[in-house]
Structure 1
Amino acid sequence: MTEAEWLTCQTPRKMIRALGTKLFGRRHTLFLTGIVQSLAEHLSPTARSLVALHEQFAEREIETAAYREQLAALDAADCQTLDRPLPVSPAELAAHNVDVSIFNILQALKSYQSNNSLRASLEYGTLAAVNATPECLRPQARKDFQSHACDLLRELFPPLSREYVVQPDFVGGGLLMPDGTTFRVPEFARNIALGVQRDQAFDRLPILADALEDAHCPDRPLLDHLRHGTNHRRGCWALDLVLGRG
């Protein structure tokens, strides 16, 4: 997939297919939590807690034992949200289908990571977005959800034709840019990035871009993403690179 195709694609399945095995591990989790969070107004408190827990574990902010203990308790509570009388009216049925779709994505978050689970979660997310919308607006709701999923992938990954490499300290460190040059992130810029990550203060990313530009960072797409990217979240590819996370 070319850079132009990546930046304009509106079909998340194509992007997932192009990513191949890159969309596993931490970013697999962050993509699925991003899908769930796009349905924020329909999430129960338990679902919100589950999303936060999965993200904390993906970011290594919580120990495995504590994660498993909290997951078991929250998972049991989440199952209870579906334990209610069967819906009768069309509105009740639609709301029930939204809850079931969200539940299925949350289940995928704790299952074996695969492209099948990604595709299934995309379908569940689409169904939730559609069922949460009046019937006359459902075609647009489907398009909007697919567009959001593509934007989420663009937040987690740079264009696939642009390869960045975080170099280990034993070869001098720094970022190997797509043009073959090496850029070493200065300490003051790294401290800004650490603050953004710690506080989840993504509105500071343009400040980080200015700091990198002042340090003569040569990569315009990276700077542009920090300045103009929308819907920034955990896993932002440009922030990850500055922090030394490949």
Structure 2
Amino acid sequence: MTEAEWLACEDPAEVLEALGTRASARKLRLFACALARTLQVRPTDPRLRAAVDAAEQDADGLLERSQREQAFYDARVAMWELSGRLQVEPLLAGRMSQSIADAPEFQTAFYAIFALDGETENIDQHLAITELGVFPPTTIIAIARDIFGNPFRPVTFFPEWRTDTAVALAGQMYESRDFSAMPVLADALQDAGCDSADILNHCRGPGPHVRGCWVVDLVLGKT
């Protein structure tokens, strides 16, 4: 696949395949979390909400193994209770029945658990997710491009662009998950001498922006 083909691609599986080994385990985990958060149904069970929060912390190495295992266990129990004791194991293995796929509450539960699963770090698992039909292809592609950037055009980020203002803005957005200040970050980076059109255009573009956004990660020194 060429860069032009990748930029024009409307097939999420092809977009993810093009990432190959370029995607870090952390970014793949945050990609799963971002997908989980796009589901508009807010689960009534706090264990499911906590699962996605825990997965994000785990991606940044802020979760003890015991905490991760407990959050994963709690989310699985919540899934079991929500399912009315349907066959949950095939669901956890990624083989959703149509009835489950059509139920937003179960979708949220499934992706909360998937976000915590160690298999999240395997690109093949994400390729399988694209086949479930829960997320619009445009959503998957938009989030992938925000997190992973353009694999055909790596951007060099100079240390002098990482000013106190830029770091503060990026850090605030990362923690709050409110990325409305991306255009302000562009201004701060430009004031620091950043002349990368890729960086500035991404900040000033329509988004979406999520935790793991490649520009925010560059400013914060995350990979």
TM over 0.5: yes
Map 1:8-157 → 2, pairs under 5 A: 8-41=8-41, 43-45=43-45, 46-83=47-84, 96-99=100-103, 102-109=108-115, 110-112=117-119, 113-124=121-132, 126=133, 128=134, 145-157=136-148
Which of the numbers 194, 198, 220 marks the counterpart of 2:197?
220
Change (3 A) 1:238 1:58: same
Consecutive unaligned residues in structure 2, runs of 5 or more: 88-96
- Indicate conservation of the 8 Å contact 1:193/1:242, yes or no: yes
- Between the aligned residues of both structures, percent identity stands at 26
CA distance in 2, matches of 1:183, 1:220: 17
TM-score by length of 2: 0.80
CA distance in 2, matches of 1:224, 1:242: 15
* Amino acid in structure 2 at the alignment position of 1:222: I
- Indicate conservation of the 8 Å contact 2:162/2:219, yes or no: yes
CA distance in 1, matches of 2:209, 2:122: 24
TM superposition shift of 1:44: 4.8
TM superposition shift of 1:243: 0.9
Query: Which deviates the most, 219-228 or 195-204?
Result: 195-204
Paired residue secondary structure (1:79): helix
TM superposition shift of 1:203: 0.6
CA distance in 2, matches of 1:41, 1:55: 19
Change (3 A) 1:42 1:146: farther
Greater relative contact order structure (CA < 8 Å, 6+ sep):
2
Instruction: Report the aligned-residue RMSD.
Output: 2.7
CA distance in 1, matches of 2:17, 2:216: 24
Based on CA coordinates, which of the two structures has the bigger radius of gyration?
1
CA distance in 1, matches of 2:24, 2:113: 16
TM superposition shift of 1:42: 6.8
Which of the numbers 175, 179, 186 marks the counterpart of 1:198?
175
TM superposition shift of 1:79: 1.9
* Amino acid in structure 2 at the alignment position of 1:193: A
* Amino acid in structure 1 at the alignment position of 2:193: H
Consecutive unaligned residues in structure 1, runs of 5 or more: 87-92, 130-144, 166-174, 177-181
TM-score by length of 1: 0.73
Tell me the matched-pair count.
209
Paired residue secondary structure (1:119): helix
